[in-house]
Amino acid sequence: MLDVREELTPMLSQYLDLCVAHPDAVVLFQVGDFYEAFCEAAEEVARVCEVTLTKREDSTGTYPMAGIPIDNAASYLEALLEADYRVAIADQIEEASEASGLVDRAVTQVITPGTVVDDELLSDATATYLGAVAGSGDETALATVDVSTGECQVTSGAEERMSEELDRLAPAELLRAPDAPDFDLGFETMVTDADPGTFEADAARETLSAYVAAPDSVVGSEAERRAVGGLLDYAEYTQGGDGPLEYVSRVRRYDPERSLQLDATAIRSLELFESRSPRSGDTLLEVMDETACALGRRRLVSWLRRPSVGEREIRRRHDAVAELLDRPMARETVREHLSEVYDLERLVSRVSRERADARDLRALKNTLDAVPEVKAALSEVESDPLRDLRDSLDELADVRELVGEAIRADPPQEITEGGVICEGFDAELDEVRAAEREGREWVSNLEERERERTGIDSLDVGYTQVHGYYIEVTNPNLDRVPDDYTRRQTLKNSERFYTPELKRREDEILSASERADALEYEVFAEVRADVAEEGERLQTLADSLATLDVLASFAAVAAANDYVRPEMGADAVEIEAGRHPVVERTGGEFVPNPADFSRGSVAVITGPNMSGKSTYMRQVALIAVLAQAGSFVPAREARLPILDRIFTRVGASDDIAGGQSTFMREMAELTDILHDATEESLVLLDEVGRGTSTTDGLAIARATTEFIHDEVGATTLFATHYHDLTELVEDLPNAFNLHFTVEKTEGSDGNPDVTFLHRVADGASSSSYGVEVAELAGVPPAVVERAREYVREGEDATPADADGDGGSDGDEARGSPDDDASTGESATPADAQASANGRASEGTLAAYVDGIESDDAADGPSTTDAAADVLADLRALNVAKTTPLEALNALDELKQRLDERDRNRD
Ligand SMILES: Nc1ncnc2c1ncn2[C@@H]1O[C@H](COP(=O)(O)OP(=O)(O)OP(=O)(O)O)[C@@H](O)[C@H]1O
């Protein structure tokens, strides 16, 4: 279009200028009640938003055009953001009526994934971050801002640390300074190449100096300053580029190591915020979220994501929860009033961005109305933290009064059309309104007066938009019309007139009405500006309300679920009758279990599939997370150390959907653990080493355990199906075995029935019960029977030790992956269950196949072809992409083909 620019109409040429100024965005251009896009942009908008692609015809040609209604823009904007577009909103910045020629337009906002501020596009519970990275090596800095609330934070450190921090915060959009590392990001984001100049030291200092008085004192290094500078400059650009964002009142520096570090893997595998299985759907957040308002909800997420490591801070939170637990009346009253609290942080930012309307200000007033009530409910509290919180609640009576007196209780959405400002607030406005009212009254009495004067009983006074006020006289009465009537309009049966006085009044009414609307808007804008002045006090209030809401929520959850206050600062993890906070809520009777892990101990946990190993390990970690976040915990008693990090490495099969080599990923995560864990860390390892051959897997598991035990000293829980690992405890003084118990009874068919007791006990497990678990899970009887035959064969044979790595003994032989010496692959009966659970089960299939292969070798060529076909099909099966049902069906079909082969052979 650039080449024909000279020939375009002024409007399209204006559109084109804006597109050139915002090359990375789709420009949406206000035309009346619509946002329009033209030419190529129109095609994209039509496709993504599913709106009709129309044509605009003018003297210069025909152009594609697509529009979205402004009133209803949110869902369309969401679609564009989801399709990875940035959207530049070009609003009309002058009234069409005032424009001489083309209406002036300017980009007032660039909407990008990291900078959305519209409530409809934001989630209540989580913050949407824009992030910026500058620097490299040990001097890498990461700055983030939540554009909707103004929360701006910066941190720095080694590249890997910052990469972890990025993964944890998962900003929706990321800016990179030219020298920033090219991180391998573990989350979806839009990477934006911002103007490199904004990241330069001087430019950044200047940007920052508009926000903080002494830029050098808030940031720790040049890299931090550059990251914040580039970040805020871009945030300003997206908000219309009118200078500093007033609502960013604080730029805070933080050190991620000052909180319990949970990396993205741990957050995911502990299911803090997202459930890994589409079926379960329950997360720690869902269980813990009894918050009453959005402020509290976001604070809860941030406390769970970043539990504290400060013993004093943790104790204070526990003190507050304890008191709120003891005072149910106060707690419930506080929660009730908090539920009337609007999203103050976002409200304040809208006020200072001049985006708040009259309803927002009323919402602010309602929120402020709740504050004295909350304070009153807390009047008798005795604990320091609650007293401090109560005393810190600023009622902002001045703001509350101002809004109460200025803004009507139920104002319209539109702030330019009157009906917003209360009577009695502004003398000039009242005067103009009085004039308007008086005029209208005069008109409304006119009919009666004129009927009397003319003697025409059917005379009517009315009003139309086009012609204004009129006096209507029907045709038969026209002869009685007085001389001062002037004809305005002729209808079929009547004539309409006006008088000079009526005309004068009409002009007065209209101009008073217009003036009143304009004045109202002016007064409203003044009130809004006065409120904006108090932004910082409002932010502080929001902060206290958020904290109070989370503490009350913790107390409510503790009351409802029988949680107990943990004792902090212990030297060991000691839990009596601990429960998994999420699993205990998802039905069935939950069996509480104890934990007693001294610092640096390594517990090797064995037990059949489904016996409760993973649940147990996660429960220990979740109890630690909850305690350090400030909550009570699901247990009868708990004494806990203050942990610095929690690491989790869960079985390779759980990551199969990730697409990458699961074993590589497993090992990369293991490397991080071995590298970064300390004596204050808790490490959960679930089936480490499973992603490779048995020999290698066991070797890695063994070496890992030894290393953690001897060198790292982290408290470690290691769930494994490698029963050989249980022997390790004999050599490692700080290691011990735990196992999960099952009850085995003889079933009616003579085979064993297994009941899971979900109870942890000392020592190693004696059996795997994989086949029984497979049966319980519904694996077809033919397969289960065949598996039993294999197990019996295995038991009769001498324990295989072809790998020369020790082999197994007695009962353990069945569960030991070492048994499967013929392939060197893992063939635990566990895998049968894994299959039923929707996980890959290459081990079991491999065992099955190898059985067939050796059969075939013995039987000669006659039956080998059929078996080879089966094998080929099996090898072609993409386990990662196969659902459990498909896997079972495939297995059943292969089995039938082999049965067929056996019958032919007989
Ligand atoms: N203490 C408990 N009380 C009641 N039910 C439990 C308990 N622990 C676990 N369960 C139930 O048992 C199921 C299996 O538990 P879990 O996944 O922890 O077993 P696992 O031994 O880790 O299995 P796998 O080795 O296959 O991963 C859970 O989904 C849960 O429903």
pLDDT value, residue 846: 39
* Cβ neighbours for 221, distance < 8 A, ≥ 6 positions apart: 135, 139, 141, 156
For residue 617 and ligand 1, the question of a CB distance below 6 A is answered with no
Distance of CA 831 to the CA centre of its chain: 34
Classify domain 567-762 at the CATH topology level.
Answer: Rossmann fold (3.40.50)
Alpha-carbon distance 459 to 457, whole Å? 6
For residue 614 and ligand 1, the question of a CB distance below 6 A is answered with yes
- Atom number of ligand 1 nearest to Cα 740: 21
Pick the CATH number of 2-111 from 1.10.132.20, 3.40.1170.10, 3.40.50.460, 2.40.10.340: 3.40.1170.10
What does the DSSP assignment read for 319-374? HHHHHHHH-HHHHHHHHHHHTT---HHHHHHHHHTT---HHHHHHHHHHHHHHHHH
Residue 428's closest CA among 492, 336, 518?
518
Sheet strand arrangement including 130-134: 190-192, 173-176, 130-134, 140-146, 151-157, 250-253
Contact 604, 725 (CB under 8 A): yes
For residue 612 and ligand 1, the question of a CB distance below 6 A is answered with yes
Provide the residue type at 255 as one letter: D
Mutate which of 614, 650, 759 for ligand 1? The one with the most ligand atoms within 8 Å of its CB, which is 614
- 61 alpha carbon – ligand 1 mean position (Å): 69
Contact 154, 142 (CB under 8 A): yes
Alpha-carbon distance 292 to 592, whole Å? 30
Integer Rg of the chain from CA: 36
Burial of 443 (0-12, 13-18, 19+ CB in 10 A): middle
Burial of 750 (0-12, 13-18, 19+ CB in 10 A): exposed
Tell me the three state secondary structure of residue 606: strand
For residue 299 and ligand 1, the question of a CB distance below 6 A is answered with no
DSSP assigned state of 103: P
- 587 alpha carbon – ligand 1 mean position (Å): 13
651-707, pLDDT tens digit by residue? Answer: 544 444 444 556 677 777 777 788 889 999 999 998 776 666 667 778 888 888 888
pLDDT value, residue 769: 62
**DSSP-derived pairing of the beta strands 130-134 and 61-69:** unpaired
- 758 alpha carbon – ligand 1 mean position (Å): 7
Distance of CA 193 to the CA centre of its chain: 24
- 626 alpha carbon – ligand 1 mean position (Å): 21
- 654 alpha carbon – ligand 1 mean position (Å): 15
For residue 577 and ligand 1, the question of a CB distance below 6 A is answered with no
For residue 609 and ligand 1, the question of a CB distance below 6 A is answered with yes
For residue 269 and ligand 1, the question of a CB distance below 6 A is answered with no
- 583 alpha carbon – ligand 1 mean position (Å): 9
Q: Which helix (H) or strand (E) holds 145?
A: strand 140-146
Pick the CATH number of 427-528 from 3.40.50.1110, 1.10.1420.10, 1.10.1530.10, 1.10.10.10: 1.10.1420.10
Q: Where are the alpha helices (DSSP H) in 497-562?
A: 500-533, 535-561
- 334 alpha carbon – ligand 1 mean position (Å): 38
Distance of CA 785 to the CA centre of its chain: 47
pLDDT value, residue 802: 32
Alpha-carbon distance 779 to 362, whole Å? 62
- 307 alpha carbon – ligand 1 mean position (Å): 26
Q: Which two tokens stand for residue 277?
A: 């299985």
pLDDT value, residue 818: 33
- Atom number of ligand 1 nearest to Cα 721: 25
For residue 615 and ligand 1, the question of a CB distance below 6 A is answered with yes
Longest dimension (CA), the chain: 127
**DSSP-derived pairing of the beta strands 735-746 and 593-598:** unpaired
Residues of the chain with pLDDT under 50: 652-659, 798-863
For residue 841 and ligand 1, the question of a CB distance below 6 A is answered with no
For residue 760 and ligand 1, the question of a CB distance below 6 A is answered with no
CATH number of 289-396+534-561: 1.10.1420.10
Alpha-carbon distance 198 to 185, whole Å? 23
Half-sphere exposure of 695 (CA within 13 A, CB side): 12
Second CATH level (architecture) for the domain 119-258: 2-Layer Sandwich (3.30)
Partners of residue 252 on adjacent β-strands: 153
Mutate which of 583, 725, 828 for ligand 1? The one with the most ligand atoms within 8 Å of its CB, which is 583
Alpha-carbon distance 437 to 423, whole Å? 13
CA-proximal residue: ligand 1, atom 11 (nearest): 612
For residue 610 and ligand 1, the question of a CB distance below 6 A is answered with yes
What does the DSSP assignment read for 557-584? HHHHHT-BPPEES-SEEEEEEE--TTGG
Alpha-carbon distance 511 to 498, whole Å? 18
* CA-angle at 243, arms to 237 and 244, nearest 5°: 95
- 763 alpha carbon – ligand 1 mean position (Å): 19
Alpha-carbon distance 766 to 396, whole Å? 67
Sequence ranges of the binding site: 607-614
815, 818, 824, 830 alpha-carbon torsion, rounded to 10°: 10
Mutate which of 610, 613, 690, 831 for ligand 1? The one with the most ligand atoms within 8 Å of its CB, which is 610
For residue 607 and ligand 1, the question of a CB distance below 6 A is answered with yes
For residue 432 and ligand 1, the question of a CB distance below 6 A is answered with no
Sequence ranges of the binding site for ATP: 607-614
Provide the residue type at 748 as one letter: S
Question: How are the residues of the chain apportioned to helix, strand and coil, as percentages rounded to the nearest 5?
Answer: 50, 20, 30
Distance of CA 430 to the CA centre of its chain: 48
CA-proximal residue: ligand 1, atom 15 (nearest): 612
pLDDT value, residue 461: 93
Q: Which two tokens stand for residue 743?
A: 């009850």
- Atom number of ligand 1 nearest to Cα 612: 18
CA-proximal residue: ligand 1, atom 1 (nearest): 591
Partners of residue 421 on adjacent β-strands: 407
**DSSP-derived pairing of the beta strands 486-490 and 61-69:** unpaired
Task: Tell me the domain boundaries of the chain.
Answer: 2-111, 119-258, 289-396+534-561, 427-528, 567-762, 770-905
Alpha-carbon distance 772 to 836, whole Å? 12
Q: Do the first three CATH levels of 289-396+534-561 and 427-528 match, i.e. the same topology?
A: yes
Contact 723, 765 (CB under 8 A): yes
- Atom number of ligand 1 nearest to Cα 607: 21
- Atom number of ligand 1 nearest to Cα 580: 1
pTM of the entire predicted model = 0.72
For residue 833 and ligand 1, the question of a CB distance below 6 A is answered with yes
For residue 613 and ligand 1, the question of a CB distance below 6 A is answered with yes
pLDDT value, residue 858: 42
Alpha-carbon distance 474 to 477, whole Å? 6
- 359 alpha carbon – ligand 1 mean position (Å): 50
- 281 alpha carbon – ligand 1 mean position (Å): 16
**DSSP-derived pairing of the beta strands 602-606 and 735-746:** parallel
